[in-house]
Structure 1
């Protein structure tokens, strides 16, 4: 089927499909229907990020002769692509735009900058342009801005300085071209400042991005020889005032599809850590700095259903956490090692679309040129889920093989994306809604199943239950039970003053005569922390050292409820004057493990005859490999450290361990000594 026709058919199905009446249970209950084995909760009171106008992106590369064709532009437009990155990964650091050359690399005909811009305009996508850091100059980059935005009036807003420049050999691995004698993050940061000044002198409206590494991915956590901090710390500290966004890539790896499909669970913590680094190191107005994810892909199943499931989960997860654009690597790439994955040929091709080529011995050939691979169809579904202006809301499941993402549209509709990562079994989900009552009609359903040639649309199941085929993507679009009249506007993002056990949240008034409700996010359900007619509320009995995310909603006298405020995330502290003090340090990190040092001080006037220190890892992918100066034991995520001797009044002792991690290394923030919460430094 012609893909643009398919997408238009999907839109028509959502708008025009005849629906049949179905009894819908009230929120929290289930309508009669098939037996369910998975619970999915959707809570529109738990507001996440709003989808921007450049959310869905892909990479265009100068070795791809199809870059400027109408056929490709039409396919990308139909999938909802709104940003295109050029000139292509590591080629960016050898590419010279003036003469359209990349010494040492192949440049296909019909891939120059003007051709790329014409293709972007046909697609309806903004450009994301990579200025050559490795073998270029600030003058060359400034001239490119001048040509693009002054001479040609392309209005190209987003410009990144280089690509994966931490791969220049400074940390031992060298794949990225870099002719600078000094390959440190300090030098990169200084050069970013110079580029930014030169480029913004030409056009002060552009946004300049710097290359960082994704938390939990190499070389995150590593301090190179002669450096004062990690790559991210050095770049943000020295160049934070000169940039408008940071650019990261994420290839989480995995030796099996099942292992790869667990990695989207890392996203929330990874983005939190990255945002924390930006706020800590980039200066007082660091909140203006955005995050782009301009490369991601999988190692196994790139062209088959595992790649499609991964793409859908990752795009949704990143956009929900406020990443303003997410890009697949890439549009076309070419055939690699051909295998069978999930029962279908996989060509080991990073592209969304077939290059139509064959193996060296011509024993295996790809489908015809531009045939969409499975991840393309997943991208098309994300284009229908996450439209500009939609707001991601809380969604959660009780089945690790089923993921859920949801958005609330401006017209009141709710769209829910359900991802069944089980290759063998169907799962029937019970859908539960908080803050939303669906219409009593069969919802519009779009599905992409393993091995399918495209997305199918129907009106199937109910708002309360959907059956998910093995290895499938299902997008359910629901209308509200009744038309909603305009209520209060959403409150602005709150701020918080935090102690170890309390958080006082404050926000500007959203109008007069309103009552405010403060909700704590908890996956697909939100917990009401309290109500007030004022503009602040104190939540008590919080857990020390724990991260919380909250929204504020306004309710008027007629009972109409506003959309949620932008989310606020904060972490509670520890007591300032506890009976014990713990100083925790990551003293040496190598990217998937580290040496941890813990100093324990008895702040009381009495000796402690025997002691046990306890803490809980924030994630399930962290553990203690070995420890010293005490007896170490880990059960689940809880670690207990038992001393071999007492601790005298006012005395301190030190213990240490080797920790390992396979995702973002979120360090523990709270420790107890014999059950008493300590002051943590």
Structure 2
């Protein structure tokens, strides 16, 4: 049974001392219950997780002060030469025709900064105006001549923005600007570059799910950009590249579906061995100048997004960028926001000189967000589920190899302090004061103290708080089971198999299989072997599970890495409902549903389904009477198509709108019966 700490609201007044909360704050808000579940494991923290972009127009790119500040922030990857400049940049003579190249920004200077920072390099080869031979020569210079050991190489930058879909911002000299042409060149680049150094990793540009032009099929193309590129070049690449500028501060909830849809596309189109292909977010910024680009709201959104992307297995998230320059100047939460997408001030002024940024290299608020994430979740740690019952508070947690547990809490409220009461599932913290790291609105550093108890903490308005807890006892259980896999997935069952755990001081007695429900887990079963068939599953449902080893003395291992799979529609049914997307414009689509009655004849029917996500809605429909109630959608037959004999088919259609990743409905009921998909 879970341990519950401070469940009742009435307990707050009685436990203020234990929570390290001054009594004056007791009336600010109801307590926030935070659940941290170490049985519900997510991705491990990668070595390259915290990244940022360097750009060749930044005169201070190679300065020691820049490198030292980035190192202090915990930056582990630096991308070069900078966004769309990548497709006009020629590394050998350090030129970018049509753009500005600052002095002291050449490749060797960049690499000196990379080494001083203690980071890895991510280099974008010129696709737009370059050649495979030029890229291969760059690999030779970097890794053979200079011995830099640059591992990660992208082929081009946002190449879908070359005019093929209408909008054109990316340089592209190829007469054919289709995804098929890009994919053909990715193959040629990969072959030429790996012939020089077969150890490098090649990345291809994809569109980000639910972001333009994702899912659009242009005239003459065999599919969307992602489908065509992955189908043609999937066997040659090692990772895919996404960019994300959500334009708002409340879009972190899109991340799990965004990443999952990208993985599903990779698995569907990239061919055998597609599981080796990683996901890199080589440009990210909140992109919300009206709500705080370089002030605290933007920083809180950045920390939330970085932690969520990493927990979902993205191996690097690279902030755009180190310095960017002044934009629209506003006042946000009591502080000047310069509309600057950089981490550090460039000391720029508005065109009329009326407003200037602070001194060069002054960190903006997002700098401290990256620094907090790097101190919260370190390479080799494992993210575990955490959740808060207050929408204004986000919770993240990571378990460390030494048994420590770090919990990061983000209070986005502008004026409310919250008393957070923490409940730990599968973990017992040591008594005594934990280490607490805090960053508040307008602060110019992260403060560190040893104070309070593991039971909870006061979260100031607009704040980042990380609590680092020690275990009550040293870890003594077996090693974690390996990566599970799912086979024989049906509508109601799935066989889950995993590599055996390494025993600790005592032999492994059994394995437990846990399903994640947010920050709560449900044990699906246990076994003494390394395979388990889960039953009584729901059709068309996405499941995420972990496996935990328990030894003969009751000691528990860490959770295995997560496994996500989706059950199917019923193999046999008295009806089928087949959904086909006829066209998609990256914010809506035309869907066609072909309904077949396999059972007894009917005279009138109702088809029901539910939108998987709250950001989906019904725009219009035809060949039925359509209604929506919450996320539930109902289509009722019309007089002309209500009579369906055994084996008869009818087709209905609708327009579906979406403002986030478009997870398609997969479960349809026909007069109350769950249908197959045909």
The two structures have a TM-score, normalised by structure 1, of: 0.94
The one of 339, 344, 353 equivalent to 1:353 is 344
Is the CA contact 1:26–1:437 (under 8 Å) kept in the aligned structure 2? no
Structure 2 residues not aligned, in runs of 5+: 17-25
Is the CA contact 2:501–2:508 (under 8 Å) kept in the aligned structure 1? no
TM-superposed CA distance for 1:461, in Å, is 3.6
- Separation in 1, partners of 2:477, 2:250: 40
- Separation in 1, partners of 2:118, 2:565: 38
Report the more deviating stretch, 454-463 or 75-84: 454-463
- Separation in 2, partners of 1:641, 1:459: 59
The secondary structure found in structure 2 opposite 1:446 is: strand
Is the CA contact 2:481–2:499 (under 8 Å) kept in the aligned structure 1? no
**Hey, what does 1:224 align to over in structure 2?**
218
TM-superposed CA distance for 1:576, in Å, is 1.2
The one of 306, 314, 318 equivalent to 1:327 is 318
TM-superposed CA distance for 1:307, in Å, is 1.3
The secondary structure found in structure 1 opposite 2:488 is: strand
TM-superposed CA distance for 1:211, in Å, is 0.4
The one of 317, 320, 331 equivalent to 1:340 is 331
Is the CA contact 1:494–1:552 (under 8 Å) kept in the aligned structure 2? no
- Separation in 2, partners of 1:639, 1:461: 49
The one of 132, 139, 160 equivalent to 1:138 is 132
Residue 575 of structure 2 corresponds to residue 580 of structure 1 = yes
Deviations 1:268-304 (A, max 9, x none): 0000000000011001100000110011112221110
- Separation in 2, partners of 1:457, 1:508: 40
The secondary structure found in structure 1 opposite 2:148 is: coil
**Hey, what does 1:293 align to over in structure 2?**
281
The one of 341, 359, 368 equivalent to 1:368 is 359
- Separation in 2, partners of 1:115, 1:130: 16
- Aligned residue runs from structure 1 range 315-464, under 5 A: 315-464=306-455
- Separation in 2, partners of 1:95, 1:492: 41
Is the CA contact 2:483–2:562 (under 8 Å) kept in the aligned structure 1? no
**Hey, what does 1:309 align to over in structure 2?**
300
The secondary structure found in structure 1 opposite 2:202 is: strand
- Separation in 1, partners of 2:2, 2:453: 13
**Hey, what does 1:16 align to over in structure 2?**
none
Report the more deviating stretch, 538-547 or 285-294: 538-547
**Hey, what does 1:114 align to over in structure 2?**
108
- Separation in 1, partners of 2:252, 2:470: 29
Is the CA contact 1:491–1:553 (under 8 Å) kept in the aligned structure 2? no
Report the more deviating stretch, 557-566 or 181-190: 557-566
Give the 3 Å change call, closer, same or farther, for CA 424–109 of structure 1 in structure 2.
Answer: same
Is the CA contact 2:283–2:317 (under 8 Å) kept in the aligned structure 1? yes
- Separation in 2, partners of 1:392, 1:650: 50
Is the CA contact 1:425–1:469 (under 8 Å) kept in the aligned structure 2? yes
**Hey, what does 2:632 align to over in structure 1?**
638
- Separation in 1, partners of 2:669, 2:395: 35
Is the CA contact 1:94–1:135 (under 8 Å) kept in the aligned structure 2? yes
The two structures have a TM-score, normalised by structure 2, of: 0.94
Report the more deviating stretch, 391-400 or 545-554: 391-400
- Separation in 1, partners of 2:662, 2:90: 38
- Aligned residue runs from structure 1 range 72-111, under 5 A: 72-111=66-105
- Separation in 2, partners of 1:122, 1:508: 39
The secondary structure found in structure 2 opposite 1:667 is: coil
Deviations 1:355-377 (A, max 9, x none): 01111111001000000000001
The one of 37, 47, 56 equivalent to 2:31 is 37
TM-superposed CA distance for 1:330, in Å, is 0.1
Q: CA RMSD in A?
A: 1.4
- Separation in 2, partners of 1:280, 1:603: 29
- Separation in 1, partners of 2:82, 2:166: 23
**Hey, what does 2:21 align to over in structure 1?**
none
The secondary structure found in structure 2 opposite 1:514 is: strand
The secondary structure found in structure 2 opposite 1:680 is: coil
- Separation in 2, partners of 1:148, 1:90: 21
- Separation in 2, partners of 1:274, 1:96: 31
TM-superposed CA distance for 1:140, in Å, is 0.3
The secondary structure found in structure 1 opposite 2:240 is: strand
- Separation in 1, partners of 2:263, 2:333: 36
The secondary structure found in structure 2 opposite 1:350 is: coil
Residue 566 of structure 2 corresponds to residue 554 of structure 1 = no
Is the CA contact 1:46–1:521 (under 8 Å) kept in the aligned structure 2? yes
- Separation in 1, partners of 2:629, 2:191: 53
**Hey, what does 1:210 align to over in structure 2?**
204
TM-superposed CA distance for 1:337, in Å, is 1.1
Report the more deviating stretch, 390-399 or 582-591: 390-399
Deviations 1:618-639 (A, max 9, x none): 1110010111111111111111
**Hey, what does 1:284 align to over in structure 2?**
272
TM-superposed CA distance for 1:335, in Å, is 0.6
TM-superposed CA distance for 1:157, in Å, is 0.4
The secondary structure found in structure 2 opposite 1:380 is: helix
Is the CA contact 1:488–1:556 (under 8 Å) kept in the aligned structure 2? no
- Aligned residue runs from structure 1 range 29-68, under 5 A: 29-30=5-6, 33-34=15-16, 36-68=30-62
Is the CA contact 1:54–1:324 (under 8 Å) kept in the aligned structure 2? yes
**Hey, what does 2:191 align to over in structure 1?**
197
Residue 669 of structure 2 corresponds to residue 672 of structure 1 = yes
The secondary structure found in structure 2 opposite 1:223 is: coil
The secondary structure found in structure 2 opposite 1:249 is: strand
**Hey, what does 2:617 align to over in structure 1?**
623
The secondary structure found in structure 1 opposite 2:177 is: coil
Is the CA contact 1:488–1:560 (under 8 Å) kept in the aligned structure 2? no
Residue 117 of structure 2 corresponds to residue 123 of structure 1 = yes
Deviations 1:149-191 (A, max 9, x none): 0000000000000000000000000000000000000000000
**Hey, what does 2:250 align to over in structure 1?**
262
TM-superposed CA distance for 1:483, in Å, is 1.8
The secondary structure found in structure 2 opposite 1:583 is: strand
TM-superposed CA distance for 1:648, in Å, is 2.3
- Separation in 2, partners of 1:461, 1:541: 44
Residue 23 of structure 2 corresponds to residue 28 of structure 1 = no
Is the CA contact 2:2–2:425 (under 8 Å) kept in the aligned structure 1? no
The one of 658, 663, 675 equivalent to 2:660 is 663
Is the CA contact 2:252–2:308 (under 8 Å) kept in the aligned structure 1? yes
**Hey, what does 2:606 align to over in structure 1?**
612
Structure 1 residues not aligned, in runs of 5+: 1-24, 254-259
Q: How many residues align?
A: 650
- Separation in 1, partners of 2:546, 2:122: 32
Residue 519 of structure 2 corresponds to residue 524 of structure 1 = yes
TM-superposed CA distance for 1:250, in Å, is 0.3
**Hey, what does 2:148 align to over in structure 1?**
154
Deviations 1:510-534 (A, max 9, x none): 3564200000012212111111112
TM-superposed CA distance for 1:675, in Å, is 1.4
- Separation in 2, partners of 1:497, 1:415: 37
The secondary structure found in structure 2 opposite 1:498 is: coil
**Hey, what does 1:6 align to over in structure 2?**
none
The secondary structure found in structure 2 opposite 1:196 is: helix
